[in-house]
């Protein structure tokens, strides 16, 4: 699953390469590989000010932006390879030649929830300490359950805490208001995609879990259904949806909508929100029956070298800082995403943005994260999806 990360410009609001403090001996340090556009620079500076008050010295905070979640996962894999290469070296200390590995220098990395299973299973990350996260109890049960995993990376209520969510979004319906004004109705749920007047006028994501998932939701089932064969009407519904779709695309689905080549698209909220103010003819609907959720999380790369207690503590302080209600709200508003901590009750946001950030509790409760499936079930989804597109 490759959830696209919208590429922000080089606005000073967001981190392009932010280094707070100089490299002085004894300074508290925090080095982070962060998804570009997901943390405002002012938040990092505010955190630096908090640390300065606590330690009476400026902290060295290095936040390096990375454009795609896939690249961040690959960085975690590269850290593991560096560690393995060091172990295989004999007769000399490799770090004296190539320098200290990036893995040992990186405290936290942004990761998408979809990659947590692989990161845990491949031992790319290490668990977080519940005792050292003061704000943990502010997270609802849904968020706590998302990041508690067993050794295979599967959800487990008794498992360890492997990640810390700091923002989230959803799969949404984006539509042309002018086209639907002529039809006399507005999209409100997944079932609207099957309406006759939209035949050949919609686009859907080129993702089996997303397309089959929204069809399952229409049928009152779960996105994470583990045996598609048990739903007799599923194939027929997928065939009908295929007849409605003009194309399948997970990247370039907004341009045809803006040009009017399509009237409706299924897409990810983080792709859509940055362009809404420029294209007022577009609007958003979060399906009433529930939708797929995604989350950006903090994870700790697995390293063997013990960090000193001050540096280890700063990682936890940063996570807690992101969970403070007033900070969580700033992250959400400035990056135009949802917050796992703060709920918005009033705002001067646009109508479109309110639909995303003013969370409907009933819809949220019916929405789901795309959880890991077995290899057999994953192959089943791929097979159903391929068959759907052939007809």
E strand or H helix that includes residue 133:
none
Do residue 144 and residue 189 come from a single domain? no
For tokens 């420029």, what's the residue? 278
Contact 214, 168 (CB under 8 A): no
Contact 109, 298 (CB under 8 A): yes
Residue 90 falls within a domain, yes or no? yes
DSSP secondary structure code for residue 53 in this structure: H
Do residue 251 and residue 386 come from a single domain? yes
* Strand, coil or helix: 57: coil
Do residue 254 and residue 326 come from a single domain? no
Domain total for the chain? 2
Do residue 369 and residue 278 come from a single domain? yes
Do residue 104 and residue 187 come from a single domain? no
Residue 9 falls within a domain, yes or no? no
What whole-number distance in Å separates Cα of residue 301 and Cα of residue 316? 14
Do residue 326 and residue 362 come from a single domain? no
Q: What is the pTM of this model?
A: 0.86
Do residue 326 and residue 311 come from a single domain? yes
Residue 94 falls within a domain, yes or no? yes
pLDDT in tens, 89-139: 444 343 333 344 455 689 999 999 999 999 999 999 999 999 999 999 999
Range of the domain at 211: 170-293+354-390
Do residue 242 and residue 137 come from a single domain? no
Residue-wise pLDDT tens for the chain (391 aa)? Answer: 445 443 333 333 455 555 555 555 567 899 999 999 999 999 999 999 999 998 887 889 999 999 999 999 999 999 888 766 555 444 434 333 334 445 568 999 999 999 999 999 999 999 999 999 999 999 999 999 999 999 999 999 999 999 999 999 999 999 999 999 999 999 999 999 999 999 999 999 999 999 999 999 999 999 999 999 999 999 999 999 999 999 999 999 999 999 999 999 999 998 998 888 899 999 999 999 999 999 999 999 997 665 555 566 899 999 999 999 999 999 998 998 999 997 766 566 677 777 777 778 899 999 999 999 999 999 999 999 999 998 7
The dihedral sign for the CA sequence 212, 214, 220, 225: positive
Do residue 212 and residue 264 come from a single domain? yes
Residue 146 falls within a domain, yes or no? yes
Do residue 187 and residue 203 come from a single domain? yes
Please, what is the angle between helix 375-390 and helix 208-218, to 10°? 80
pLDDT in tens, 229-254: 999 999 999 999 999 999 999 999 99
DSSP string for residues in 203-229: EE-S-HHHHHHHHHHHTT--TT-S-GG
Contact 270, 37 (CB under 8 A): no
């Amino acid at each position: 699953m490759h959830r696209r990360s919208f590429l922000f410009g080089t606005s000073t609001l967001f981190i392009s390469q932010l280094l707070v403090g100089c490299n002085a001996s004894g300074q508290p340090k925090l080095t982070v590989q962060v998804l570009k556009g997901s943390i405002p620079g002012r938040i990092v500076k505010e955190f630096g000010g908090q640390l300065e008050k606590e330690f009476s010295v400026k902290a060295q905070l290095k936040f390096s932006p990375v454009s795609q979640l896939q690249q961040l996962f690959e960085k975690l894999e590269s850290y593991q390879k560096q560690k393995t290469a060091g172990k295989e070296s004999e007769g000399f200390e490799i770090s004296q030649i190539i320098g200290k590995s990036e893995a040992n220098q990186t405290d936290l990395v942004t990761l998408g929830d979809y990659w947590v299973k692989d990161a845990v299973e491949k031992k790319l990350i290490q668990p977080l300490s519940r005792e050292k996260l003061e704000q943990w109890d502010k997270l609802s049960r849904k968020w706590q359950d998302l990041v508690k995993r067993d050794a295979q990376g599967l959800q487990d209520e008794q498992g360890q805490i492997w990640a810390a969510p700091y923002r989230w979004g959803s799969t949404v319906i984006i539509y042309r208001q002018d086209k639907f004004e002529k039809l006399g109705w507005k999209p409100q749920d997944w079932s609207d995609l099957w309406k006759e007047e939209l035949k050949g006028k919609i686009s859907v994501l080129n993702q089996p879990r997303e397309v089959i998932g929204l069809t399952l939701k229409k049928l009152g089932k779960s996105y994470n259904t583990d045996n598609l064969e048990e739903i007799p009407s599923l194939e027929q519904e997928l065939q009908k949806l295929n007849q409605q779709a003009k194309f399948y695309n997970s990247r370039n689905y907004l341009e045809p909508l803006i040009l009017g080549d399509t009237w409706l698209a299924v897409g990810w909220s983080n792709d859509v929100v940055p362009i809404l103010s420029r294209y007022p003819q577009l609007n958003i609907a979060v399906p009433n029956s529930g939708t797929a959720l995604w989350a950006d999380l903090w994870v700790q790369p697995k390293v063997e070298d013990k960090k000193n207690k001050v540096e280890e503590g700063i990682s936890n302080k940063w996570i807690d800082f992101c969970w403070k209600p007033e900070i969580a709200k700033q992250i959400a508003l400035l990056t135009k995403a949802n917050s796992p901590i703060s709920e918005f009750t009033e705002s001067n946001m646009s109508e479109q943005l309110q639909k995303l950030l003013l969370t409907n509790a009933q819809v949220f409760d019916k929405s789901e994260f795309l959880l890991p499936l077995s290899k057999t079930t994953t192959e089943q989804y791929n097979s159903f999806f391929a068959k759907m597109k052939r007809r």
